[in-house]
Amino acid sequence: MNDRYTYRITWSTEDGEHVGLCAEFPSLSWLAATPEKALAGIRRTVRDSVADMKETGEEPPRPLADRAYSGKFLVRLPPETHRALAIRAAEEGVSLNRLVSARLAGDPG
């Protein structure tokens, strides 16, 4: 299997070890003493889970990297928040879309 899933390694203070995670399989994790071992463990766990799913006729999740994204999504928020964002955008001389896109990308503006 060509493994194109999205992995992340982080430190777990609670467990005192590195934890390997896979975005496409949020219920799976792997604890290890080193980041390298955590990555190897979660990759092995995902590989085994995909094999089990295929064996039982389940469709494994598509890797996030293989999915197409339009660049558009709808966000519902309270009218007061919408108004406050529109005012902020006007004050900054940018469109509401540009303001929100920048904030979501981590630009505090």
DSSP symbol at 72? -
Q: What angle do CA 20, 26, 27 make, to 5 degrees?
A: 90
User: What is the distance between the alpha carbons of residues 50 and 58, in angstroms, rounded to a whole number?
Assistant: 9
Tell me the sheet residues that pair with 31.
19
12-34 pLDDT tens trace? 999 999 999 999 999 999 999 99
Looking at residue 3, its pLDDT comes to 86
pTM assigned to the model:
0.73
Residue 100 has pLDDT above 60, yes or no: yes
Rounded to whole angstroms, the Cα distance separating 7 from 20 reads: 7
Q: How far apart are CA 73 and CA 17, in angstroms?
A: 36
Tokens of 92: 């900054």
The per-residue pLDDT of the chain, averaged, comes to 94
- Asked whether the beta carbons of 43 and 51 are under 8 A apart, the reply is no
